[in-house]
Amino acid sequence: MDFRGVFTIPCTPFTESGELDEASLRREVRFCLDCGAHGLVAPVYASEFYTLADDERKRVVEIVAEENAGRVPFVAGCSAVSARHAVMLARHAASAGADALIAMPPVVRKAAGQEVFDYYCAISEAVPLPVVLQDFIAPVGTPMPPELMARMFAELPQVQYLKEETALGPHVLSQMQQLCGDSIRGVMGGQGGRFLFNEYARGACGTMPACHLTDVHVDLWELLAAGREQEARALFNRMLPLLNFEHLYAVSAYKEVLRRRGVLATSVCRDRAAPLDEYDHRELDVLMAEIDPLLRVRY
């Protein structure tokens, strides 16, 4: 199974009281599929995985797998505080029907070198699924040296893909391809797709953005894949003001757009690091009106 295209990330919906909103999550997965997503990824950073209890993380995986029903590849997040924790989540994801796994190095207590290698070795040996390394910026992520990642691609058969989203991600993408050769099956970009053109030119096999603009991201990717770069750039330039807005507010912005699009019942976040205020909502009114003609899917 080759991973290519827009692997979109559903947010984790919550009720007004902060509980997992299963109905909205099911609707969100259907929305992603209706938008033409080439793959699904959850629960990861854009899903607020770090705020979820283990049973909630497992339930998110189960719901996404059920609603997807094998339509597109489903990559389940198993970033964890330790190898034992990650293996538990990986085994559950495999039993629930995930097609692959994605993990950052150990979170909370940062690891390096051999400990990171051993962590991914444990994941890759636990279940026979492809593993995506997530090279993510601090403080949540732990950027990994390209040489360490190349060693994992060479020595751990299940480690096959990379999601690269560190500070100079496009440069790391090129370096990894040079270091790994055929041992790496593909590199996907992140950071909301803001650097997609640079990544695509370097051979990226896809991108993993949050799902609030999945239909537009898919259209952008399809234009690039068809060699219609000028049209793709025109589309991207229309998206850019909203991409800049979401760069400031992250999950708060993703969820509010999804709420406005009729996908989520609320925009409640457990991570309230960047709540939207009245000025933000006023600006988002303008940005949503400008991008509305690009939205193919209506809920």
Sequence spans of domains, the chain: 5-228
Please list the alpha-helical segments (H only) found in the chain. 22-34, 54-68, 83-96, 114-126, 146-155, 169-180, 196-201, 214-225, 229-249, 251-260, 278-291
User: In CATH, what class is 5-228?
Assistant: alpha beta
DSSP string, 20-34: B-HHHHHHHHHHHHH
The dihedral through the CA atoms of 143, 144, 150, 156 has a sign that is negative
The tally of CA atoms less than 13 A away on the side-chain side of residue 33 is: 17
Give the pLDDT of residue 280: 97
Q: pTM of the predicted model, to two decimals?
A: 0.96
Give the pLDDT of residue 107: 87
Give the pLDDT of residue 141: 83
Reported as a single tens digit per residue, the pLDDT across 71-81 is: 999 999 999 99
For the chain, list residues with pLDDT below 50. Answer: none
Instruction: Identify whether the C-beta of residue 173 lies closer than 8 Å to the C-beta of residue 186.
Output: no
